Structure 1
Amino acid sequence: MATVTNGQARNPAKGSGGTNKALAAALKDAGCSYASLALRVNELGRRQGAEPHYDKASVTRWLQGQQPRGNTPELIAAVLSERLGHPLSPTDLGFLSDQQRPVVSRALVYGEDVAETLHTLAELGSTDISRRTLLGTVPFVAGALTSPQRAWLLWLVEHIEQCGPAGTDRLAALSSAGPVEQVHAMISMFDQMDNHYGGGGVRTSIVHYLSTEVIPMLQQRGVPPHQQRQLFAAAARLAAMAGWSSYDAGEYGLAQRYMTQGLRLCAEGGDRVLGGQILAGMSHLATSLGRPDEGVALARAGIATARSGGSPLGLMRLYAMAARGHAAQGHRRETGEALRAAEDQWGASNGPAHESPWVRFLDHHYLQAEAAVCYRDLGLAAEAERMAGESVSANADRRRRQAISRSVLATAHLQQNRLDEAIGAATEALDTLGSVHSERSIQALRDFRLRLEPLRREPLVKEFEHRSRGVLGMAA
């Protein structure tokens, strides 16, 4: 039984003197100093909504057997997983195990057994719905991104002849497939709600429908093989939507886990276009959470996946994701090449009716919005202003895209020393956020507010800071 010292749990199942030998060994293998571990745990915690303040003395206490508070063991595991290149759980590092949360570790794994994948996804969903008492905060683990990529690409090579393009005949069959038709109708409804109101407002409904309705369909015996493949593809799409809406709600660790499991289900459906789109979502997540190198790698895996899938729009999005990753690293030439490739794919498309249903929402205005973010990150303010302005004008019915593009437009104005226009665009973004439950939109505007720091004494900036506190919180 654990004892408690100074408000912290201490695990007796350690080495002599209460030392945590597992953590010490992982630190040594990773070549990670106490100070660098504490710094990275603080950074990762802040990215995920917490405000930790650890230092090397904290790490010394952990090595002496002290159990960190809250979700800190998961953050430590995430940091060391990233350093070592393979996933670790808190239990692997000698921290107290939590018998209610093993699914958090299992859901990071792209498993061989699809029956186990269904079980893991159903358990993750049911635990997620009651997450306030059972799941808690789930960290994003950058080190766990490599294994699903590798497993997926190996599967793709081994089954390349079984993955045909998503032609119109195959797509027509989807709409007359009984339960598949019902699932697709629900996916369309969730898509509309997500586009209009953000992922935070629809996330729980997607997770509940996937775990209580669709997964049980796939666990039934006697489903015809062609219908089962279509159901697996639809379930993969729902899992990806659960991931994307979790990302939009600021639940980054859950987003990673749903997308990973969705990728595994996609293999059963044999759908390369959808597989590419799931990898695009994972790429977006990785780049936004400070790993643009992984974002580029995931986008490239998606391009390899979808290249022969018969979907130029799907490839357009993947090249746009590659561009985002390159731009976040300051790589101008690579960003330009990726954006030109995305533009070429847009030109190659024969329109939504000839594309997979998974990518029909994509249009040229989507590409403009993504290009605006790239140009902003590269400091190319005039280009960012032009693209963001066109995106704002074209997306009146897509409130999340409106909010993000207005925030990018505000930054482009600021980069050109036009403070009045910058505050005006940011205020319009703030007004849009009143009807959108989207943490991504909020983060885009927080990024702009952070750039105002050198001008914080200006009256316009003070006024904006005061007005934005209710939505964005206090400035750091």
Structure 2
Amino acid sequence: MDSSRRRVVGVGLFSVALTIPGWSDVVGRAHALQANPHSSIGQADVESVDATVNCLRDIDATFGGHYARPMASAFLVNTVAPYLRASGPEHIRKSMLSSAAMACYLTGWMAMDEGEQGLAQRYYVKGLELAGAADDRMAYCHILRGVSVQAANLGHGGPATQYANAAASAAPSRGPYMRAFMAGQQAHGYAMAGSGRLALDSLRESERALDQVTSPGGARQGFSYATLAYATAQVRYEMGDVKGSVSSLQDHFKLRSESESHRSGLIFGGLLAERQLQVGHLDAACATWNRVLDDYPAMHSGRADDRVRAAVKLLAPHRKNATARVTHERARALLARKSTARPSL
């Protein structure tokens, strides 16, 4: 384990009982940081942090959390933390707190992608606290939505719904983009929690809101018709409509733009292949898996690894089929090579 990870938040297991601070608990709260009278910050420093976070986000989306997270956590320790202790005008200090909150969120997202779920939670909580200290509701609700995504990824429908609803309630704007962004995640949580009607209502709300968006939204993260198609696929799958989920995932790939996360393409492709196999389309599943495997060697992502492991497991009973056997052996070999080549952090 690297020193930057230990110094920032520590490690642990994911906990559904973790206390997630509400907006009223953190808004405007000052952090007990000893100011350094010999250091000061200005707008250029805030802009440099934002630019670095954007670069780290691109690296994460392209190469995965296992590759990018050590850089991000070191950046938090070595650059962002000293800025938080520096003096400066109040509006600059609040802007730096907001930037630090999003840096924590991104690092938590990377840790989640690695499979370090407890670590990710702690980064998220720190980000929520920083957002509150900055009085930045936008950052707060964005991070809280990320907590919901993590819970959903781990199969915890109740907490996923709770956090998604709390994020929607805390959102400072009820403009169409924000409504679409929040409702899409609420739909997934509701479906996991067994509230099918509310899930479908939320999907319709997200679609109606997205239809009203007239300018690109989401400075911190994009939400598009491709994202909505993925949310629809997840809702359909949770409601038992596997064929419908396959269709929605295929729609997602038709709607994807070049700016979409490279990693999400691998993960969603793996899900598509698994569900194609579940409905009995072995050849289609193998074709999808092989597209995933084409790009897999460059990806350092625990979630992508999980999808390739699933391919190995699910194809094993079908090895009498020549196509399935070749795909199975290819996936197994790539996974073994990745495990051997990956450094221990």
The TM-score by the shorter chain falls in which range?
0.7 to 0.9
Residue 44 (structure 1) aligns with: none
Residue 97 (structure 1) aligns with: none
Residue 287 (structure 1) aligns with: 152
Residues 183-214 of structure 1 deviation map (CA, whole Å, 9 limit, x = unaligned): 11111211221222222221111111111111
Q: Which amino acid aligns with 2:155?
A: G
Distance in 2 (CA, whole Å) between partners of 1:401 and 1:220 is: 37
Q: State, as a whole percentage, how many aligned pairs show the same letter.
A: 24
Distance in 1 (CA, whole Å) between partners of 2:258 and 2:296 is: 13
Q: In structure 2, do the counterparts of structure 1 residues 271 and 323 end up closer, same or farther at CA, with 3 Å as the change threshold?
A: same
Match of 2:79 among 193, 213, 217: 213
Residues 314-349 of structure 1 deviation map (CA, whole Å, 9 limit, x = unaligned): 442332222222333444323212212222232233
Distance in 2 (CA, whole Å) between partners of 1:286 and 1:275 is: 17
Which has the greater radius of gyration? 1
SS across alignment from 1:290: coil
Do residues 142 (structure 1) and 44 (structure 2) align?
no
SS across alignment from 1:432: helix
Aligned-pair CA distance for 1:412: 3.3
Do residues 441 (structure 1) and 307 (structure 2) align?
no
Structure 1, unmatched stretches of 5+, are 1-123, 160-175
User: How many residue pairs get matched?
Assistant: 322
SS across alignment from 1:143: coil
Aligned-pair CA distance for 1:219: 0.8
SS across alignment from 1:233: helix
Do residues 259 (structure 1) and 124 (structure 2) align?
yes
Do residues 193 (structure 1) and 59 (structure 2) align?
yes
Do residues 342 (structure 1) and 212 (structure 2) align?
no
Residue 268 (structure 2) aligns with: 405
Aligned-pair CA distance for 1:421: 0.5
Aligned-pair CA distance for 1:309: 2.3
Distance in 1 (CA, whole Å) between partners of 2:22 and 2:300 is: 32
Q: Which amino acid aligns with 2:192?
A: A
Aligned-pair CA distance for 1:448: 5.3
Give the root-mean-square deviation of aligned CA atoms.
2.9
Do residues 155 (structure 1) and 25 (structure 2) align?
yes
Distance in 1 (CA, whole Å) between partners of 2:157 and 2:329 is: 33
Residue 95 (structure 2) aligns with: 230
CA contact under 8 A between 1:273 and 1:311: conserved in structure 2? no
Structure 2, unmatched stretches of 5+, are 29-41, 338-345
SS across alignment from 2:12: coil
Distance in 1 (CA, whole Å) between partners of 2:66 and 2:176 is: 29
Structure 1 residues 33-432: aligned runs within 5 Å: 126-128=3-5, 138-144=12-18, 147-148=19-20, 151-155=21-25, 177-221=43-87, 223-306=88-171, 308-352=172-216, 355=217, 357-359=219-221, 361-393=222-254, 394-396=256-258, 398-432=261-295
Distance in 2 (CA, whole Å) between partners of 1:327 and 1:412 is: 17
Q: In structure 2, do the counterparts of structure 1 residues 322 and 449 end up closer, same or farther at CA, with 3 Å as the change threshold?
A: farther
Distance in 1 (CA, whole Å) between partners of 2:197 and 2:174 is: 27
Aligned-pair CA distance for 1:127: 4.5
Q: In structure 2, do the counterparts of structure 1 residues 311 and 155 end up closer, same or farther at CA, with 3 Å as the change threshold?
A: farther
Aligned-pair CA distance for 1:371: 2.3
Q: Which amino acid aligns with 2:89?
A: P
**TM-score, structure 2 length as denominator?**
0.83
SS across alignment from 1:358: coil
Q: Which amino acid aligns with 1:357?
A: A
Q: Which amino acid aligns with 2:196?
A: R
